[in-house]
Structure 1
Amino acid sequence: MAEQTGTGTDVVGGTTDDETAITAAVARTAAADTLLVALDFDGTLAPFADDPGQVGALPGSWAAVLTLDRARDTHVVLVSGRSLESLERVTQAPPSMSLVGSHGVEWRVDGQPSEALSDDERAAVDAVGAILDEVGARHPGVVIEHKPAGHGVHTRRVSADAARAADDDARASVSAAHPDVHVRAGKDILEFSIRHVTKGDAISRLRTILQADAVVFAGDDTTDEDGFAVLDQDAADLGVKVGPGDTAARYRVEDPAGLTDVLKALARLRATR
Protein backbone atom coordinates (compact mmCIF):
# COMPACT_ATOMS: atom_id res chain seq x y z
CA MET A 1 0.00 0.00 0.00
CA ALA A 2 1.08 3.58 -0.59
CA GLU A 3 2.64 5.35 2.36
CA GLN A 4 0.17 7.14 4.60
CA THR A 5 0.66 9.68 7.32
CA GLY A 6 -0.73 7.90 10.36
CA THR A 7 -1.73 9.21 13.74
CA GLY A 8 -1.59 5.84 15.47
CA THR A 9 -4.43 4.61 17.62
CA ASP A 10 -7.44 6.85 18.19
CA VAL A 11 -8.44 7.57 21.74
CA VAL A 12 -12.04 6.62 20.91
CA GLY A 13 -12.77 3.04 19.90
CA GLY A 14 -9.19 1.70 19.69
CA THR A 15 -9.08 2.48 15.96
CA THR A 16 -5.76 2.70 14.17
CA ASP A 17 -4.67 4.15 10.85
CA ASP A 18 -1.18 2.65 11.12
CA GLU A 19 -0.21 1.27 7.72
CA THR A 20 1.70 -1.69 9.09
CA ALA A 21 -1.23 -2.75 11.26
CA ILE A 22 -3.68 -2.44 8.35
CA THR A 23 -1.42 -4.47 6.06
CA ALA A 24 -1.19 -7.26 8.64
CA ALA A 25 -4.95 -7.23 9.17
CA VAL A 26 -5.61 -7.46 5.43
CA ALA A 27 -3.25 -10.45 5.14
CA ARG A 28 -4.95 -12.21 8.06
CA THR A 29 -8.45 -11.71 6.65
CA ALA A 30 -7.41 -12.59 3.09
CA ALA A 31 -6.38 -16.06 4.30
CA ALA A 32 -10.01 -17.04 5.04
CA ASP A 33 -11.37 -20.00 3.08
CA THR A 34 -14.56 -18.15 2.10
CA LEU A 35 -14.57 -14.36 2.25
CA LEU A 36 -17.42 -11.85 2.16
CA VAL A 37 -16.37 -8.36 1.07
CA ALA A 38 -19.21 -5.96 1.92
CA LEU A 39 -18.70 -2.36 0.86
CA ASP A 40 -20.63 0.86 1.22
CA PHE A 41 -20.61 2.98 -1.93
CA ASP A 42 -21.00 6.74 -1.36
CA GLY A 43 -18.07 8.17 0.59
CA THR A 44 -16.38 4.77 0.58
CA LEU A 45 -15.82 3.53 -2.97
CA ALA A 46 -16.87 6.88 -4.41
CA PRO A 47 -16.21 10.45 -3.23
CA PHE A 48 -19.29 12.52 -2.46
CA ALA A 49 -20.79 14.83 -5.08
CA ASP A 50 -23.52 17.47 -4.92
CA ASP A 51 -25.49 15.47 -7.49
CA PRO A 52 -25.86 11.88 -6.19
CA GLY A 53 -26.59 10.70 -9.72
CA GLN A 54 -23.18 11.82 -10.96
CA VAL A 55 -20.90 9.98 -8.54
CA GLY A 56 -18.59 7.16 -9.54
CA ALA A 57 -16.27 4.74 -7.81
CA LEU A 58 -12.57 5.59 -7.90
CA PRO A 59 -11.04 3.65 -10.83
CA GLY A 60 -8.44 1.90 -8.68
CA SER A 61 -11.01 0.81 -6.12
CA TRP A 62 -13.43 -0.42 -8.76
CA ALA A 63 -10.71 -2.41 -10.53
CA ALA A 64 -9.87 -4.08 -7.21
CA VAL A 65 -13.56 -4.77 -6.55
CA LEU A 66 -13.92 -6.44 -9.95
CA THR A 67 -10.82 -8.55 -9.28
CA LEU A 68 -12.27 -9.62 -5.92
CA ASP A 69 -15.61 -10.43 -7.54
CA ARG A 70 -13.82 -12.88 -9.86
CA ALA A 71 -11.61 -14.42 -7.16
CA ARG A 72 -12.26 -17.95 -5.95
CA ASP A 73 -14.42 -18.32 -2.81
CA THR A 74 -14.81 -14.54 -2.59
CA HIS A 75 -18.19 -12.78 -2.54
CA VAL A 76 -18.45 -9.03 -3.14
CA VAL A 77 -21.64 -7.29 -2.04
CA LEU A 78 -22.28 -3.55 -2.23
CA VAL A 79 -24.37 -2.58 0.81
CA SER A 80 -25.80 0.91 0.44
CA GLY A 81 -28.42 3.27 1.76
CA ARG A 82 -29.31 4.05 -1.84
CA SER A 83 -32.31 2.41 -3.40
CA LEU A 84 -31.42 -0.70 -5.37
CA GLU A 85 -32.35 1.01 -8.65
CA SER A 86 -30.07 3.97 -7.87
CA LEU A 87 -27.22 1.69 -6.81
CA GLU A 88 -27.51 -0.35 -10.01
CA ARG A 89 -27.50 2.83 -12.10
CA VAL A 90 -24.48 4.58 -10.56
CA THR A 91 -22.30 1.47 -10.20
CA GLN A 92 -23.14 -0.40 -13.41
CA ALA A 93 -22.14 -3.45 -11.38
CA PRO A 94 -21.90 -6.71 -13.36
CA PRO A 95 -24.71 -9.25 -12.88
CA SER A 96 -22.35 -11.50 -10.89
CA MET A 97 -22.00 -8.86 -8.16
CA SER A 98 -24.58 -8.84 -5.37
CA LEU A 99 -26.22 -5.59 -4.29
CA VAL A 100 -28.15 -4.66 -1.14
CA GLY A 101 -30.01 -1.34 -1.15
CA SER A 102 -32.01 0.78 1.28
CA HIS A 103 -29.81 -0.28 4.23
CA GLY A 104 -30.81 -3.93 3.81
CA VAL A 105 -34.43 -3.73 2.67
CA GLU A 106 -33.77 -4.38 -1.05
CA TRP A 107 -31.71 -7.32 -2.32
CA ARG A 108 -30.10 -8.34 -5.60
CA VAL A 109 -28.52 -11.50 -4.27
CA ASP A 110 -28.85 -14.78 -6.15
CA GLY A 111 -31.69 -16.77 -4.66
CA GLN A 112 -32.40 -14.18 -1.95
CA PRO A 113 -35.05 -11.72 -3.18
CA SER A 114 -36.23 -8.68 -1.27
CA GLU A 115 -39.06 -9.21 1.18
CA ALA A 116 -42.03 -7.38 -0.29
CA LEU A 117 -43.58 -4.53 1.65
CA SER A 118 -47.08 -5.10 3.01
CA ASP A 119 -50.00 -2.97 1.87
CA ASP A 120 -49.83 -1.02 5.13
CA GLU A 121 -46.10 -0.43 4.70
CA ARG A 122 -46.56 0.82 1.14
CA ALA A 123 -49.30 3.18 2.31
CA ALA A 124 -46.99 4.51 5.03
CA VAL A 125 -44.18 5.04 2.51
CA ASP A 126 -46.51 7.12 0.33
CA ALA A 127 -47.84 9.15 3.26
CA VAL A 128 -44.40 9.95 4.65
CA GLY A 129 -43.19 10.88 1.17
CA ALA A 130 -46.01 13.39 0.79
CA ILE A 131 -45.15 14.94 4.16
CA LEU A 132 -41.49 15.26 3.24
CA ASP A 133 -42.31 16.78 -0.15
CA GLU A 134 -44.06 19.56 1.79
CA VAL A 135 -40.97 19.94 3.99
CA GLY A 136 -38.76 20.19 0.91
CA ALA A 137 -41.01 22.90 -0.53
CA ARG A 138 -40.55 24.93 2.66
CA HIS A 139 -36.74 24.70 2.54
CA PRO A 140 -35.18 25.78 -0.80
CA GLY A 141 -32.12 23.77 -1.76
CA VAL A 142 -33.17 20.71 0.24
CA VAL A 143 -33.70 17.61 -1.93
CA ILE A 144 -36.15 14.84 -1.04
CA GLU A 145 -35.14 11.40 -2.30
CA HIS A 146 -37.91 8.83 -2.54
CA LYS A 147 -37.01 5.16 -2.02
CA PRO A 148 -39.12 2.00 -2.07
CA ALA A 149 -39.13 1.65 1.73
CA GLY A 150 -38.54 5.22 2.87
CA HIS A 151 -37.20 8.64 1.98
CA GLY A 152 -34.11 10.81 2.43
CA VAL A 153 -33.82 14.52 3.19
CA HIS A 154 -30.60 15.69 1.49
CA THR A 155 -29.05 18.89 2.83
CA ARG A 156 -25.60 18.85 1.16
CA ARG A 157 -26.44 21.95 -0.93
CA VAL A 158 -27.56 24.22 1.93
CA SER A 159 -25.86 25.90 4.89
CA ALA A 160 -25.51 24.20 8.27
CA ASP A 161 -28.22 26.41 9.77
CA ALA A 162 -30.59 25.70 6.88
CA ALA A 163 -29.86 21.97 7.17
CA ARG A 164 -30.69 21.95 10.88
CA ALA A 165 -33.94 23.81 10.24
CA ALA A 166 -34.96 21.38 7.51
CA ASP A 167 -34.05 18.33 9.59
CA ASP A 168 -35.98 19.65 12.60
CA ASP A 169 -38.99 20.36 10.41
CA ALA A 170 -38.81 16.90 8.84
CA ARG A 171 -38.52 15.11 12.17
CA ALA A 172 -41.40 17.02 13.71
CA SER A 173 -43.68 16.74 10.69
CA VAL A 174 -43.19 12.99 10.24
CA SER A 175 -43.32 12.21 13.95
CA ALA A 176 -46.65 13.99 14.34
CA ALA A 177 -48.30 11.73 11.76
CA HIS A 178 -46.19 8.55 11.87
CA PRO A 179 -44.33 8.26 15.20
CA ASP A 180 -43.18 4.68 14.50
CA VAL A 181 -41.11 5.57 11.44
CA HIS A 182 -37.41 4.83 11.95
CA VAL A 183 -35.11 7.86 11.54
CA ARG A 184 -31.39 7.65 10.68
CA ALA A 185 -29.02 10.62 10.56
CA GLY A 186 -26.15 10.38 8.10
CA LYS A 187 -23.76 12.73 6.34
CA ASP A 188 -25.92 15.57 5.01
CA ILE A 189 -28.95 13.28 4.97
CA LEU A 190 -31.79 12.40 7.30
CA GLU A 191 -33.47 9.14 6.37
CA PHE A 192 -36.98 7.95 7.23
CA SER A 193 -37.57 4.19 6.90
CA ILE A 194 -40.82 2.30 7.22
CA ARG A 195 -39.04 -0.97 7.93
CA HIS A 196 -36.33 -1.00 10.59
CA VAL A 197 -33.49 -2.92 8.94
CA THR A 198 -29.81 -2.02 9.28
CA LYS A 199 -26.62 -2.75 7.39
CA GLY A 200 -25.65 -4.93 10.35
CA ASP A 201 -28.73 -7.07 9.77
CA ALA A 202 -27.82 -7.34 6.09
CA ILE A 203 -24.20 -8.34 6.78
CA SER A 204 -25.24 -10.97 9.33
CA ARG A 205 -27.72 -12.44 6.85
CA LEU A 206 -25.14 -12.40 4.05
CA ARG A 207 -22.56 -14.14 6.25
CA THR A 208 -25.04 -16.96 6.87
CA ILE A 209 -26.23 -17.23 3.26
CA LEU A 210 -22.72 -17.28 1.82
CA GLN A 211 -21.22 -19.33 4.68
CA ALA A 212 -18.39 -16.84 4.94
CA ASP A 213 -15.50 -17.61 7.27
CA ALA A 214 -14.55 -13.93 7.44
CA VAL A 215 -16.06 -10.58 6.52
CA VAL A 216 -14.54 -7.33 5.30
CA PHE A 217 -16.75 -4.29 5.72
CA ALA A 218 -15.81 -0.71 4.81
CA GLY A 219 -17.98 2.36 5.31
CA ASP A 220 -17.80 6.03 6.08
CA ASP A 221 -21.07 7.10 7.68
CA THR A 222 -22.81 6.77 11.02
CA THR A 223 -25.25 4.36 9.34
CA ASP A 224 -22.30 2.03 8.71
CA GLU A 225 -21.66 1.61 12.43
CA ASP A 226 -24.38 -1.05 12.53
CA GLY A 227 -22.25 -3.01 10.09
CA PHE A 228 -19.08 -2.68 12.14
CA ALA A 229 -20.99 -3.74 15.26
CA VAL A 230 -21.69 -7.25 13.92
CA LEU A 231 -18.08 -7.99 12.95
CA ASP A 232 -15.83 -10.20 15.04
CA GLN A 233 -12.73 -8.05 14.73
CA ASP A 234 -10.88 -10.04 17.39
CA ALA A 235 -11.04 -12.99 14.98
CA ALA A 236 -10.72 -12.80 11.18
CA ASP A 237 -13.18 -10.00 10.35
CA LEU A 238 -11.89 -6.65 9.12
CA GLY A 239 -13.69 -3.34 9.67
CA VAL A 240 -12.39 -0.22 7.91
CA LYS A 241 -13.75 3.25 8.64
CA VAL A 242 -13.28 5.69 5.76
CA GLY A 243 -12.73 9.24 7.02
CA PRO A 244 -13.11 10.90 10.42
CA GLY A 245 -15.57 10.25 13.22
CA ASP A 246 -15.99 7.91 16.18
CA THR A 247 -16.26 4.30 15.06
CA ALA A 248 -16.39 0.69 16.14
CA ALA A 249 -14.13 -0.24 13.21
CA ARG A 250 -10.66 -1.41 14.17
CA TYR A 251 -8.95 0.32 11.24
CA ARG A 252 -9.24 3.69 9.52
CA VAL A 253 -8.19 5.26 6.24
CA GLU A 254 -8.34 8.97 5.53
CA ASP A 255 -10.63 8.96 2.49
CA PRO A 256 -11.85 6.80 -0.42
CA ALA A 257 -8.40 7.05 -2.03
CA GLY A 258 -6.93 5.47 1.10
CA LEU A 259 -9.36 2.59 0.80
CA THR A 260 -8.13 1.97 -2.76
CA ASP A 261 -4.80 0.78 -1.36
CA VAL A 262 -6.53 -1.58 1.06
CA LEU A 263 -8.73 -3.08 -1.65
CA LYS A 264 -5.80 -3.49 -4.05
CA ALA A 265 -3.82 -5.37 -1.41
CA LEU A 266 -6.79 -7.58 -0.58
CA ALA A 267 -7.47 -8.28 -4.27
CA ARG A 268 -3.85 -9.30 -4.91
CA LEU A 269 -3.93 -11.76 -2.04
CA ARG A 270 -7.30 -13.31 -2.95
CA ALA A 271 -6.48 -13.53 -6.67
CA THR A 272 -3.26 -15.48 -6.04
CA ARG A 273 -4.59 -18.00 -3.52
Structure 2
Amino acid sequence: MRAFAADADGPPAARLVALDFDGTLSPLVDDPLAARMAPSARAAVDRLAAALVGTTTRLALVSGRNLADLAERSEPPVGTYLVGSHGAETGHVTEDGLDAVPLDLTPEQADHLAALRTGMAEAVAGREGAWVQEKPSAAVLHTRLASAADTQAAEHLADAVAARLGLHAMHGKDVVEVAVVETSKGEAVDRLRDVVGQDAGCPDARTRVLYAGDDTTDETAFAVLGPGDLGVKVGDGDTLAAQRVPDADGLAAVLDLLADLLERQEA
Protein backbone atom coordinates (compact mmCIF):
# COMPACT_ATOMS: atom_id res chain seq x y z
CA MET A 1 0.00 0.00 0.00
CA ARG A 2 2.77 2.45 0.89
CA ALA A 3 4.45 1.78 -2.45
CA PHE A 4 1.19 2.49 -4.29
CA ALA A 5 0.63 5.73 -2.38
CA ALA A 6 4.23 6.95 -2.61
CA ASP A 7 5.24 9.48 -5.25
CA ALA A 8 6.95 7.77 -8.18
CA ASP A 9 10.27 8.76 -9.71
CA GLY A 10 10.11 10.57 -13.04
CA PRO A 11 7.06 12.40 -14.42
CA PRO A 12 4.18 12.83 -11.97
CA ALA A 13 1.82 9.84 -12.11
CA ALA A 14 -1.89 9.77 -11.45
CA ARG A 15 -3.49 7.06 -9.34
CA LEU A 16 -6.79 5.25 -9.80
CA VAL A 17 -8.64 3.44 -7.01
CA ALA A 18 -11.11 1.17 -8.83
CA LEU A 19 -13.53 -0.92 -6.79
CA ASP A 20 -16.10 -3.57 -7.61
CA PHE A 21 -19.44 -3.18 -5.81
CA ASP A 22 -21.32 -6.43 -5.11
CA GLY A 23 -19.37 -8.74 -2.82
CA THR A 24 -16.65 -6.11 -2.47
CA LEU A 25 -18.13 -2.92 -1.01
CA SER A 26 -21.55 -4.49 -0.51
CA PRO A 27 -22.25 -7.94 0.96
CA LEU A 28 -23.91 -10.33 -1.49
CA VAL A 29 -27.68 -10.40 -0.91
CA ASP A 30 -30.56 -12.46 -2.27
CA ASP A 31 -32.30 -9.38 -3.72
CA PRO A 32 -29.91 -7.31 -5.88
CA LEU A 33 -32.12 -4.25 -5.39
CA ALA A 34 -31.47 -4.42 -1.64
CA ALA A 35 -27.69 -4.16 -1.98
CA ARG A 36 -25.98 -1.26 -0.24
CA MET A 37 -22.41 -0.60 0.86
CA ALA A 38 -21.47 -2.10 4.20
CA PRO A 39 -21.39 0.70 6.81
CA SER A 40 -17.61 0.44 7.18
CA ALA A 41 -17.15 0.56 3.41
CA ARG A 42 -19.52 3.52 3.09
CA ALA A 43 -17.53 5.48 5.64
CA ALA A 44 -14.19 4.51 4.09
CA VAL A 45 -15.25 5.41 0.54
CA ASP A 46 -16.59 8.80 1.64
CA ARG A 47 -13.44 9.51 3.64
CA LEU A 48 -11.20 8.48 0.75
CA ALA A 49 -13.16 10.62 -1.70
CA ALA A 50 -12.66 13.63 0.57
CA ALA A 51 -8.93 12.89 0.83
CA LEU A 52 -8.64 12.79 -2.98
CA VAL A 53 -9.90 16.34 -3.53
CA GLY A 54 -7.12 18.41 -5.05
CA THR A 55 -4.86 15.40 -5.70
CA THR A 56 -4.02 13.38 -8.81
CA THR A 57 -5.80 10.29 -7.46
CA ARG A 58 -9.27 9.38 -8.73
CA LEU A 59 -11.97 6.98 -7.53
CA ALA A 60 -13.98 4.59 -9.73
CA LEU A 61 -16.60 1.90 -9.22
CA VAL A 62 -16.44 -0.93 -11.76
CA SER A 63 -19.42 -3.27 -11.75
CA GLY A 64 -21.43 -5.77 -13.71
CA ARG A 65 -24.57 -3.84 -12.79
CA ASN A 66 -26.05 -1.53 -15.36
CA LEU A 67 -24.87 2.04 -14.91
CA ALA A 68 -28.07 3.58 -13.54
CA ASP A 69 -28.54 0.74 -11.06
CA LEU A 70 -24.93 1.00 -9.90
CA ALA A 71 -25.32 4.73 -9.30
CA GLU A 72 -28.56 4.23 -7.36
CA ARG A 73 -27.29 1.40 -5.15
CA SER A 74 -23.80 2.78 -4.45
CA GLU A 75 -24.62 6.48 -4.02
CA PRO A 76 -21.08 7.39 -5.13
CA PRO A 77 -19.35 10.62 -4.10
CA VAL A 78 -19.11 13.47 -6.58
CA GLY A 79 -16.11 12.99 -8.85
CA THR A 80 -16.39 9.20 -8.99
CA TYR A 81 -16.02 7.45 -12.34
CA LEU A 82 -18.61 4.72 -12.89
CA VAL A 83 -18.29 1.68 -15.14
CA GLY A 84 -21.36 -0.51 -15.57
CA SER A 85 -22.18 -3.73 -17.43
CA HIS A 86 -18.57 -4.94 -17.13
CA GLY A 87 -17.31 -2.01 -19.18
CA ALA A 88 -20.08 -1.48 -21.73
CA GLU A 89 -21.41 1.60 -19.92
CA THR A 90 -19.47 4.52 -18.48
CA GLY A 91 -20.25 7.73 -16.64
CA HIS A 92 -19.01 10.32 -14.18
CA VAL A 93 -20.70 11.63 -11.04
CA THR A 94 -21.01 15.41 -11.04
CA GLU A 95 -22.65 17.93 -8.74
CA ASP A 96 -25.72 17.68 -10.99
CA GLY A 97 -25.88 13.87 -10.89
CA LEU A 98 -24.73 11.08 -13.19
CA ASP A 99 -23.24 12.18 -16.51
CA ALA A 100 -23.57 8.98 -18.56
CA VAL A 101 -22.04 8.24 -21.95
CA PRO A 102 -24.86 7.06 -24.25
CA LEU A 103 -24.74 3.38 -25.20
CA ASP A 104 -25.57 2.88 -28.88
CA LEU A 105 -26.03 -0.67 -30.17
CA THR A 106 -25.57 -1.60 -33.81
CA PRO A 107 -28.58 -3.15 -35.59
CA GLU A 108 -26.90 -6.56 -35.33
CA GLN A 109 -26.27 -6.11 -31.61
CA ALA A 110 -29.90 -5.05 -31.08
CA ASP A 111 -31.12 -8.17 -32.91
CA HIS A 112 -28.81 -10.36 -30.84
CA LEU A 113 -30.03 -8.74 -27.63
CA ALA A 114 -33.67 -9.46 -28.49
CA ALA A 115 -32.87 -13.09 -29.31
CA LEU A 116 -30.75 -13.37 -26.18
CA ARG A 117 -33.53 -12.13 -23.92
CA THR A 118 -35.98 -14.60 -25.46
CA GLY A 119 -33.57 -17.51 -25.09
CA MET A 120 -32.68 -16.66 -21.50
CA ALA A 121 -36.36 -16.37 -20.56
CA GLU A 122 -36.86 -19.88 -21.92
CA ALA A 123 -33.89 -21.09 -19.86
CA VAL A 124 -35.58 -20.17 -16.57
CA ALA A 125 -39.14 -21.14 -17.49
CA GLY A 126 -40.54 -23.44 -14.79
CA ARG A 127 -37.42 -23.20 -12.62
CA GLU A 128 -38.26 -21.69 -9.25
CA GLY A 129 -35.73 -19.21 -7.92
CA ALA A 130 -34.04 -18.70 -11.30
CA TRP A 131 -34.69 -15.40 -13.05
CA VAL A 132 -33.32 -13.18 -15.80
CA GLN A 133 -32.17 -9.60 -15.41
CA GLU A 134 -32.26 -7.48 -18.56
CA LYS A 135 -29.50 -4.90 -19.05
CA PRO A 136 -29.03 -2.35 -21.84
CA SER A 137 -26.54 -4.65 -23.59
CA ALA A 138 -26.88 -8.00 -21.84
CA ALA A 139 -29.07 -10.56 -20.13
CA VAL A 140 -28.11 -12.12 -16.80
CA LEU A 141 -29.24 -15.45 -15.41
CA HIS A 142 -29.54 -15.36 -11.60
CA THR A 143 -29.61 -18.69 -9.74
CA ARG A 144 -28.81 -17.72 -6.14
CA LEU A 145 -32.26 -18.89 -4.96
CA ALA A 146 -32.63 -21.87 -7.33
CA SER A 147 -32.03 -25.54 -6.56
CA ALA A 148 -28.80 -27.19 -7.67
CA ALA A 149 -30.60 -29.16 -10.37
CA ASP A 150 -32.43 -26.12 -11.75
CA THR A 151 -29.21 -24.10 -11.62
CA GLN A 152 -27.32 -26.67 -13.65
CA ALA A 153 -30.09 -26.95 -16.24
CA ALA A 154 -30.57 -23.19 -16.58
CA GLU A 155 -26.84 -22.55 -16.89
CA HIS A 156 -26.57 -25.23 -19.59
CA LEU A 157 -29.36 -23.58 -21.59
CA ALA A 158 -27.86 -20.11 -21.09
CA ASP A 159 -24.53 -21.35 -22.42
CA ALA A 160 -26.33 -22.86 -25.41
CA VAL A 161 -28.11 -19.58 -26.17
CA ALA A 162 -24.79 -17.72 -26.05
CA ALA A 163 -23.09 -20.26 -28.31
CA ARG A 164 -25.94 -20.13 -30.83
CA LEU A 165 -25.58 -16.36 -31.09
CA GLY A 166 -21.78 -16.43 -31.14
CA LEU A 167 -21.56 -14.64 -27.79
CA HIS A 168 -19.47 -15.27 -24.68
CA ALA A 169 -21.11 -16.44 -21.44
CA MET A 170 -19.45 -15.01 -18.31
CA HIS A 171 -19.91 -17.19 -15.25
CA GLY A 172 -19.77 -15.52 -11.83
CA LYS A 173 -21.15 -16.18 -8.36
CA ASP A 174 -24.67 -17.53 -8.98
CA VAL A 175 -24.89 -15.65 -12.29
CA VAL A 176 -24.30 -16.22 -15.98
CA GLU A 177 -24.12 -13.03 -18.03
CA VAL A 178 -24.22 -12.87 -21.80
CA ALA A 179 -23.54 -9.50 -23.43
CA VAL A 180 -23.82 -8.30 -27.00
CA VAL A 181 -21.03 -5.75 -26.44
CA GLU A 182 -17.72 -7.55 -26.04
CA THR A 183 -15.73 -6.03 -23.20
CA SER A 184 -14.42 -6.84 -19.72
CA LYS A 185 -13.52 -5.18 -16.46
CA GLY A 186 -9.88 -5.48 -17.49
CA GLU A 187 -10.47 -3.50 -20.66
CA ALA A 188 -12.47 -0.97 -18.64
CA VAL A 189 -9.60 -0.50 -16.18
CA ASP A 190 -7.14 0.02 -19.03
CA ARG A 191 -9.40 2.69 -20.53
CA LEU A 192 -9.85 4.35 -17.14
CA ARG A 193 -6.09 4.36 -16.67
CA ASP A 194 -5.74 6.58 -19.74
CA VAL A 195 -8.75 8.77 -18.91
CA VAL A 196 -7.55 9.41 -15.37
CA GLY A 197 -4.03 10.23 -16.53
CA GLN A 198 -5.41 12.94 -18.79
CA ASP A 199 -7.94 14.21 -16.24
CA ALA A 200 -5.33 14.45 -13.49
CA GLY A 201 -2.88 16.28 -15.73
CA CYS A 202 -0.38 13.41 -15.79
CA PRO A 203 -0.49 12.16 -19.41
CA ASP A 204 3.22 11.37 -19.60
CA ALA A 205 3.31 8.72 -16.87
CA ARG A 206 1.47 5.43 -16.50
CA THR A 207 -1.44 5.78 -14.07
CA ARG A 208 -1.04 3.46 -11.09
CA VAL A 209 -4.11 1.40 -10.24
CA LEU A 210 -5.45 -0.18 -7.07
CA TYR A 211 -8.22 -2.60 -7.99
CA ALA A 212 -10.39 -4.58 -5.56
CA GLY A 213 -12.94 -7.24 -6.43
CA ASP A 214 -14.39 -10.55 -5.30
CA ASP A 215 -15.60 -12.47 -8.36
CA THR A 216 -14.20 -14.34 -11.34
CA THR A 217 -15.11 -11.40 -13.59
CA ASP A 218 -12.72 -9.23 -11.56
CA GLU A 219 -9.80 -11.44 -12.55
CA THR A 220 -9.67 -9.71 -15.94
CA ALA A 221 -8.93 -6.48 -14.06
CA PHE A 222 -6.27 -8.11 -11.91
CA ALA A 223 -4.73 -9.48 -15.11
CA VAL A 224 -4.00 -6.00 -16.52
CA LEU A 225 -2.24 -4.76 -13.38
CA GLY A 226 1.51 -4.34 -13.55
CA PRO A 227 4.45 -2.78 -11.70
CA GLY A 228 3.31 -0.10 -9.28
CA ASP A 229 -0.28 -1.38 -9.26
CA LEU A 230 -2.04 -3.25 -6.46
CA GLY A 231 -4.72 -5.94 -6.68
CA VAL A 232 -6.88 -6.82 -3.67
CA LYS A 233 -9.03 -9.94 -3.73
CA VAL A 234 -12.06 -9.80 -1.43
CA GLY A 235 -13.03 -13.21 -0.06
CA ASP A 236 -12.05 -16.74 -0.99
CA GLY A 237 -11.06 -18.24 -4.34
CA ASP A 238 -8.09 -18.44 -6.66
CA THR A 239 -6.86 -15.06 -7.81
CA LEU A 240 -4.18 -13.11 -9.64
CA ALA A 241 -4.35 -10.39 -6.98
CA ALA A 242 -1.31 -9.92 -4.77
CA GLN A 243 -3.30 -9.13 -1.63
CA ARG A 244 -6.45 -10.51 -0.03
CA VAL A 245 -8.98 -9.35 2.56
CA PRO A 246 -11.88 -11.41 3.92
CA ASP A 247 -14.80 -9.07 3.30
CA ALA A 248 -16.06 -5.51 2.89
CA ASP A 249 -14.87 -4.62 6.38
CA GLY A 250 -11.37 -5.76 5.43
CA LEU A 251 -11.44 -3.66 2.28
CA ALA A 252 -12.65 -0.68 4.32
CA ALA A 253 -9.51 -0.99 6.43
CA VAL A 254 -7.40 -0.92 3.24
CA LEU A 255 -9.17 2.22 2.01
CA ASP A 256 -8.76 3.87 5.41
CA LEU A 257 -5.03 3.14 5.30
CA LEU A 258 -4.79 4.69 1.85
CA ALA A 259 -6.68 7.76 3.08
CA ASP A 260 -4.26 8.00 6.02
CA LEU A 261 -1.26 7.95 3.69
CA LEU A 262 -2.72 10.50 1.29
CA GLU A 263 -3.72 12.85 4.11
CA ARG A 264 -0.19 12.73 5.50
CA GLN A 265 1.25 13.59 2.09
CA GLU A 266 -1.02 16.63 1.84
CA ALA A 267 -0.34 17.79 5.42
Q: Same fold (TM over 0.5)?
A: yes
Residue 196 of structure 1 corresponds to 182
Cα displacement string for residues 103-145 of structure 1 (whole angstroms, at most 9, x for unaligned residues): 0000003898355221221221122111111222232210101
Q: Could you tell me which runs of 5 or more consecutive residues in structure 2 were left unpaired when the two chains were aligned.
A: 8-12, 94-98, 198-205
Match of 1:239?
231
Show the counterpart of 1:266.
258
- Deviations 1:22-67, CA, capped at 9 Å, x for gaps: xxxx111112452100000000001000000001111221222122
Secondary structure at the aligned position of 2:115 is classed as helix
Aligned counterpart, 2:5: 30
Letter in 1 for 2:178: F
Question: 2 CA distance for matches of 1:60 and 1:197?
Answer: 31
Moved more, 243-252 or 136-145: 136-145
Counterpart selection for 1:43 from 12, 23, 27 = 23
Q: SS of the counterpart of 1:138?
A: coil
One-letter amino acid matched to 1:134: E
- The correspondence of residues 147-186 of structure 1 with structure 2, limited to 5 A, is 147-176=135-164, 178=165, 180-186=166-172
Structure 1 SS opposite 2:108? helix
Which residue pairs with 1:86 in the alignment?
69
Residue 49 of structure 2 contacts residue 77 of structure 2 at CA under 8 Å; is this kept in 1?
Answer: no
Secondary structure (helix, strand or coil) at the match of 1:127 reads: helix
Distance in 1 between residues matched to 2:102 and 2:264, nearest whole Å: 34
Q: For 1:80-101, what per-residue CA distance to the aligned partner results, in whole angstroms no more than 9, with x for missing partners?
A: 0011111011112234211100
**What is the total number of aligned residue pairs between the two structures?**
244
Pairing partner for 1:205 from 163, 186, 191: 191
Return the alpha-carbon distance in structure 2 between the equivalents of residues 73 and 90 of structure 1.
26
CA distance in 1, matches of 2:152, 2:56: 46
Aligned-partner Cα distance in 2 for 1:114–1:252: 35
Deviation track 1:176-205 (CA, whole Å, cap 9, x = no partner) reads 3x1x11210000000101111000000001
Counterpart amino acid of 2:4? T
1:120 to 92, 105, 108: 108
Counterpart position of 2:222: 228
**3-state secondary structure, aligned to 2:170:** strand
Q: How well do the aligned residues superpose, as a CA RMSD in angstroms?
A: 1.7
Percent of aligned positions with the same letter in both sequences? 40
For 1:72-151, list aligned pairs within 5 A.
72-109=55-92, 113-151=101-139
Unpaired runs of 5+ in structure 1?
1-25
Secondary structure of 1:216's counterpart equals strand
Q: Deviations over 1:211-240 (max 9, x none)?
A: 1631000000000000000001xx210000
